Amino acid sequence: MKIHQFSIDEALASLHSHHEGLLAAQVENRLREYGPNRVEQVQGEPLWLSFIREFVHFFALILWIAAGLAFFAESRHPGEGMAMLGYAILGVIVINGLFSFWQQYRAERAIAALQKLLPQHVKVIRDGKVGLIFAAALVPGDVILLQEGDNVPADCRLLEAFSLRVNNATVTGESRPQARDALPSSEERLEHSRNTLLAGTSVVSGEGRALVFATGMHTEFGKIAHLTQTASKTRSPLQREIVRLSRLIAILAVTLGLVFFLIGHSMHMSFWDNFIFAIGIIVANVPEGLLPTVTLSLAMATQRMAKRNALIRHLPSVEALGSATVICTDKTGTLTENRMTVNALYLDGQMLTPTAVQRQPELAHTHRRLFEDALLCHNLKETLLNGKWQLMGDPMEIALVRMAKTCLGEVRGYPKINEVPFDTDRKRLSTIHHTPAGIVLYCKGALEALLPLCTQIQTAAGTVPMTQDARQAYLNAQEDMAGRGLRVLAFAWRMLEDSHNAPAQERDLILAGLVGLEDPPRPEVPAAISKCRAAGIKVIMITGDHPHTAQAIGRQIGQIQTDNPIVITGEQLHRLSDIQLRLVLDAPDLIFARVGADQKMRIVTALKKKKHVVAVTGDGVNDAPALKTADIGIAMGVAGTDVAKEAADMVLLDDNFASIVAAIEEGRTVYENIRKFLTYILTSNIPEVVPYLAFALLKIPLPLTIIQILAVDLGTDMLPALGLGAAKPEPGNMAKPPRPRKERLLDWRLLTRAYLFLGVMEAIAAMSAYFYVLYSGGWQWGEGRDSQDPLYLKATTACFSAIIVMQIVNVFLCKTPERSVFSAPAFDNRIILGGIVLEIALVVIIDYTAWGNLIFGTLPLAPDVWLFILPFALAMLLLEEVRKFAVAKWKYWTGKS
């Protein structure tokens, strides 16, 4: 047996404690053995190691090597611009490393948020005396005193309870306050026991005395903290693709370097000249601008998402959300509005709305006792908040009071003189009040609990005896209201002679009517769910609420569309093996209800094993492990705890499920945009490599210098690439299923288009411009040229300028990879337009200013050179349009469109 299943005396004996508390010597020994009552931080990776890790990941290593090779080449052949290239690459590494480390540092602060939820002081009984101690000094066996408003400092077993109710939402996910008593429990699971209080929860009403049986990391709260810290955060799909891309680029660059080294060797080049030549090839093939472009593109996407109420904490999560195949969502506050409202009333055989009653004052007068019942029978407290008196407590009771005030029009409070507390066995609450008519008992609760106690019914003609037909009519009305997803409460009353022996007075009641309450679904959610279905994204509800409530909401929002959905409770999930769970996850309509923190994480893990990309929402401490384990964790910004927000990748500023769907649309756009600017960036690699190939094979002067390559990669290409990263969603973005998990960011389609099609056209244009200038100046094949020869400088300037012109056209071609460039607005992307203006400005500065000529080894070009380049740009545009047309026709005829 467990401690919550013991009697009070057995529970005390099991911990060698007493009603008068522990002795000082016992406290000292136990504090030494069990440690302080606080959430300890699991020994993780040191901060300095996390900092270093951001500078030694695979792509960073490639850049370090490229920088090292550049400095080595500068040492062998000074003055060729390799040193400047090396410093530029180092700058890229440092900026990205610092930015990534800051993101990681913020993510590791969840433990501080956990500590904030635990109280600092607590009342404890030791040696028979009541004292105030630090919560950290509590030990198993301590007896503590709790009252309304207190946070629970440790896991406790109640010894006494007086109208005690607790809010367990932060640990178990249950949205309504739960009644607690000191009786032995038959529950198997500790967190659902009626006599147990859990660390991190709070007392909503009443008071009690409790026995501490677990402290610190041994509490349920501590176990969640441990799960949160030890749950491994897997790489996002984008992070995995960047690693793969880095490897491909490294292999490609090194392979080309070796090939060119062998070519040079076969042509009897000197070893060092050949080696420096190979280094140039390797560095030319490393896209130095890739990391900053990806980082800045993701950062810009986070700004767009923030405008749609989705705050991104970790940049790679932007793209991860776009590739989501499953969303595991909470119910309360995410799918619903998190506010109880009265939806329907059943009075004297009529189903009415509060608005209808308000319009008919005579109805409210006839059934005044029901509205008085709703107004008075509760445990709410009035608190001064922001200068206004507000009701604090159970949202359901607040909704009933508001409804009563609305329907009665004027409100008169009658003093409460006694109470019979609510508990889940009695399923009712009774309060006794002094009224002008005398002493009245008001009772509310489940119809099945009140119906046997009622002998009369309130009607328009007064009170009449309860009949079997009337009894059945009420049961039918309750079934009708429950079928609409309403929580149904019955209300009854009776006049009393006195207020003594209140429990015995709950008899011969007059049934006043029924009230149906709902936590209405957010109006935007059904459309968002429908959008998810169209986009091939599965939505699974995971809630701490009752399964019937969850199922009713599921039907209202369209998450459930079949007649027999699968609803799994925490108890049922506990009995399922991992294989059985993975089979259950294939069900089209699926809800998990009454689940614990470890179970939510287990569901997420099972989905990931089925190769899903999983997004998970959460607001409580209990959600933190699942948020951290998921591909993307989504915390609630309004109702969420600090713990959930720190563990999550994204925070919903409005707690609205519809905002997730909007963010998914942005995430999908990000992935497509990254492919666009990858195509754009990689295309320029070919016209950068071909000049080196021509230099080695054709024995001509080097058509493009290292410093000019740097001007393209980190100068002219950066802003247009960012513009592509900020492009608007393509039409039909959310009408397609999530991309296959096996689909790669850098695949053969992208490489073929960038390297073998667009890149080849740019290389032809660049080399043609180079030879045009040389031949126009009287150059003969086989002639060598000094690096400062004006004709040679003009020729390299033409080669460089041709690449820029072709890239200006290329940015428009990459903007619409499948649609014709003429079918898309030409001036809807200000960043691209700004990038083109910047490219033109840089070319003018580099080509036509004295210091630009000095730094980049250029000279001004004559107008005829520009006229020579322009037809190549036009040809590139037309050939790409032909390719897009051919691909579209092929997809149409093969049915892949």
Q: How far is CA 205 from CA 395, 419, 514, in A?
A: 13, 13, 25
Residues 582 and 576: their CA atoms lie apart, in Å, by: 10
**Token pair in block for residue 164:** 């005690």
Q: What positions carry a catalytic annotation?
A: 330
Q: Are 584 and 576 in contact (CB under 8 A)?
A: yes
CA dist., res. 803 & res. 681, Å (int): 12
E-only strand ranges, 500-613: 509-518, 538-543, 566-569, 590-593
AA letter at 39: V
Cβ atoms of residues 499 and 431 within 8 Å: no
Nearest to 399 by CA among 345, 319, 334: 345
Cα–Cα–Cα angle for 477, 478, 479, rounded to 5 degrees: 90
Which helix or strand (DSSP H or E) is residue 710 part of? helix 706-711
779-783 — which CB contacts under 8 Å span 24+ positions?
781/700, 782/699
Rounded to whole angstroms, the Cα distance separating 167 from 695 reads 76
Q: How far apart are CA 111 and CA 787, in angstroms?
A: 61
Q: In the beta sheet, which residues pair with residue 710?
A: none
How many residues can be counted in the chain? 897
Please state, in angstroms and rounded to a whole number, the distance separating the CA atoms of residues 576 and 599.
11
Distance CA 52, CA 36 (A): 33
- For the chain, the farthest-separated pair of C-alpha atoms sits apart, in whole angstroms, at 122
Query: Strands 538-543 and 590-593, how do they pair?
Result: parallel
Residues forming a β-bridge with 626: none
Separation of CA 86 from chain center = 38
Q: Would you state the structure tokens that stand for residue 506, as one six-digit string? A: 């709950």
- Say what angle helices 82-107 and 290-307 make with each other, to 10 degrees: 40
Q: Between β-strands 566-569 and 590-593, what pairing exists: parallel, antiparallel or unpaired? A: parallel
Decide the pairing of beta strands 614-618 and 650-652: unpaired
Q: What is the 3-state secondary structure (H, E, C) of 361-418?
A: HHHHHHCHHHHHHHHHCCCCEEEEECCEEEEECCHHHHHHHHHHHHHHCCCCCCCEEE
* Residue whose tokens read 């790409």: 880
CB atoms within 10 A of CB 869: 22
**List of residues 6+ apart from 546 with CB closer than 8 A:** 593, 594
Residue 156, SS3 per DSSP? strand
Phi and psi at residue 641, in whole multiples of 5°? -75, 160
Nearest CA among 56, 60, 103, 57 for reference residue 290: 60
User: How many angstroms separate the Cα of 288 from the Cα of each of 285, 481, 721, 841?
Assistant: 9, 64, 13, 22
> Residue 649 corresponds to which tokens in the numbers above?
């990748």
Regarding beta strands 632-636 and 614-618, do their DSSP bridges make them parallel or antiparallel, or are they unpaired?
A: parallel
Q: What share of the chain is helix, strand, coil (3-state, %, to 5)?
A: 55, 20, 30
Q: Which of 411, 449, 448 is nearest to 430 (CA)?
A: 449
Cα distance between residue 897 and residue 892, in whole Å: 6
- Let me know: does 129 contact 30? Beta carbons within 8 Å: no
